[in-house]
Amino acid sequence: MSRYLSSRFASLEEYVPGEQPQDLHYIKLNTNESPYPPAPGVVKAVTQNEIDRLRLYSDPDCRALREALAAQYGVSSANIICGNGSDEMLSFLFIAFCDAQTGVSYPDISYGFYSVFADINRIAAQEVPLRGDLSICADDYCGLDRTIVIANPNAPTGLCLSAADIERIVQSNPNNVVVIDEAYVDFGGESVAPLTKKYDNLLVVQTFSKSRSLAGGRLGYAIGSEGLIADLNKIRNSTNPYNVDSLTKAVGLASLEEQDYYDNNCKKIVATREYAAQELQKLGFEMPESKTNFLFARHPKLAGKQLYLDLKARGILVRHFDMPRILDYNRITIGTPEQMETLLKTLREMI
């Protein structure tokens, strides 16, 4: 840091994204991208006319995209805000709904960015320990009277809470916002988006990065009561009103018209996951039941970090987290069946 950086960030520990090698030499199973390309209609959405129109500012209200999402969820477009990835949405909501009075609570093992958002906004965070089986216990979040952020399904564990459990958490914290980060919900979880019509303190965050094959497009959104969405728009308009660019809007909108293609991809990914889980278990791996597009696996005879390094040396990237309780694990994104066969073959040779 330079001597000019505000002293309030002296101890800020920034988020470290997963490795993003640009050369494509690896089988990349480390950042939970879809192994399948965007739908054919998405390619067609990027017309010469769209590119010529880049000279004009994008619609800061994201009207067309918000209306299409609203129709899909059966809500009003005033219940939707779009962002430059769900990370930006999370950044906005930590600013809007967390302060010294509210505090914030989230699971101690979850998306690593939550603690960074808390840190940069200087909010006292309460990290609620996962249970011994790596599950989130809904009771731990009932009546906390703090802002609550839960990834459901959780990452990197892959485990789910039921909608009923989440409703209980939302009901028992009526004076605080409960954020459910549903980045992975399309792979077997149960979305609580419908509950946003019933509870004005529930905010659901979703992304186009995983099931909709648009990680590189940077598009996320939140669904909630008009009040919560207006608050998020206030933060957006005070930091970066034109946050979603025109081409991203165009590909996002086209994606929504290709739901069958993406539903089918999700089915394929779930089938591949179930097969890979079985085969990994045959090799001695243990893992929680995943409802996501990744498996969180450990092997009683292999150290997690070493396995990550050995796989990398063999051209396969997975994600290892240097955190005390999960040192033995690696998070393995579900790739194509062929990629998973290569992974399994490599592991069979190694073990």
Q: Which residues does 203 contact at the CB level (< 8 Å), separation at least 6?
A: 93, 97, 177, 178, 179, 180, 196, 222, 223, 224, 228
321 near its own copies, rule: CB under 8 A:
no
Rounded Cα distance, 23 and 1, in Å: 30
Rounded to a whole number of angstroms, the CA Rg of the chain reads 20
Q: Which span (127-135, 159-167, 237-245, 340-348) binds its own copies, by CB under 8 A?
A: 237-245
Cβ closest to its own copies, residue 151 vs residue 177: 177
Count each helix (H run) and each strand (E run) in the chain, helices first: 11, 11
173 near its own copies, rule: CB under 8 A:
no
The residue type at 252: G
For residue 223, the minimal CB distance to its own copies (Å) is 14
179 near its own copies, rule: CB under 8 A:
no
Chain positions 119 to 148 lying near its own copies, rule: CB under 8 A, are 119-120
Q: 17: cis peptide before it, omega within 30°?
A: no
Chain positions 197 to 236 lying near its own copies, rule: CB under 8 A, are 200-201, 209, 213-218, 225, 227-228, 230-231, 233-235
For residue 21, the minimal CB distance to its own copies (Å) is 9
300 φ/ψ angles, rounded to the nearest 5 degrees: -60, -20
Chain positions 20 to 49 lying near its own copies, rule: CB under 8 A, are 20, 22, 28, 31, 33-38, 42-43, 46, 48
* Residues 109 and 157 sit within 8 Å (Cβ to Cβ): yes
2 near its own copies, rule: CB under 8 A:
yes
Chain positions 80 to 119 lying near its own copies, rule: CB under 8 A, are 84-85, 87-88, 91, 95-99, 101-102, 116-117, 119
227 φ/ψ angles, rounded to the nearest 5 degrees: -65, -50
For residue 306, the minimal CB distance to its own copies (Å) is 26
